[in-house]
Amino acid sequence: MRRAVTIVVTTSAVLAGGSFASQAQAATPPTPSITAPGGFVMNNGTGATLFGKAADTRRPTGSTTKIMTAKVVLAQRGLNLDAKVTIDKAYSDYIVAKNASSARLIVGDKVTVRQLLYGLMLPSGCDAAYALADKFGTGSTRAARVKSFIGKMNDEARRMGLRNTHFDSFDGISNGANYSTPRDLTKIASSAMQNSTFRSIVKTRSTTQKVTTRTGGYRNMAWTNTNKLLSTYSGAIGVKTGSGQQAKYCLVFAATRNNKTVIGTVLAAQNETNRASDVKKLLDYGFAR
């Protein structure tokens, strides 16, 4: 009888041990493989790194640069989001000259700072970026104000300890020295997401904003977010797309599920399809960790 009991107990222990082993194995998902040259994911609540691929390699950032543009604006002392900015012809001329993405701002319209931030982050308006840089830079000329604003972007990067980040533009249209890394961009976005206005804007799929015209009337501006993740991934809350000949296809992304927020960056994907696939893999992996 003792021998039989011993055998039963031992068998139960083996079965239990096998079950625990299976659970432990299931709890650690395989590290994903992404096609993009650079990627990074972290737990936004703890700051713990969940995935990295060439996470500290400097690359062009395209319009993901605009995350820092918005962050600098929102950090201004005494910021009045309802202050109106008159749209100058220089902003529209810039869009034409650079063949840049646009919020389709109309010369002479008076647009609030809040509306400019929507125009910056949803349709990725380089005209909105120019208007904000002109408004919040300092100096007696537009060129001086823009230079000052970009200086503020770099000052903030240094303050955050981001040694692999540098900006030479307010919108990502580089003069040859606009770069960051997946890790640094993720940290910039994580910091920006602490601001409630920023969070509200970047999770918005589309918006219609009433702006004041030159003659004192009103017009409606309709903007749709370029970040398709918001409508294709459950729990997505931001953050910003980017693209360009040098930058290729980039996305700084964030999503929340079950009170856990995962945030990260993919840089230099070959196309939108690969970018979307890589981001989904990284988010799934982040939530499974």
Catalytic residue IDs? 63, 66, 124
Helix 66-74 with 113-121: angle, nearest 10 deg: 160
Q: Look at phi and psi of residue 222 and say left if phi exceeds 0, alpha if psi is from -120 to 50, else beta.
A: beta
Would you state the structure tokens that stand for residue 280, as one six-digit string? Answer: 């989904």
Distance CA 253, CA 100 (A): 22
Which residue is it, tokens 């977010």? 225
With beta carbons less than 8 A apart as the criterion, state whether 254 and 235 touch.
no
Contacts (Cβ under 8 Å, ≥6 apart) of 7:
none
Give the torsion through C-alpha atoms of 253, 256, 257, 259, to 10 deg.
Answer: 150
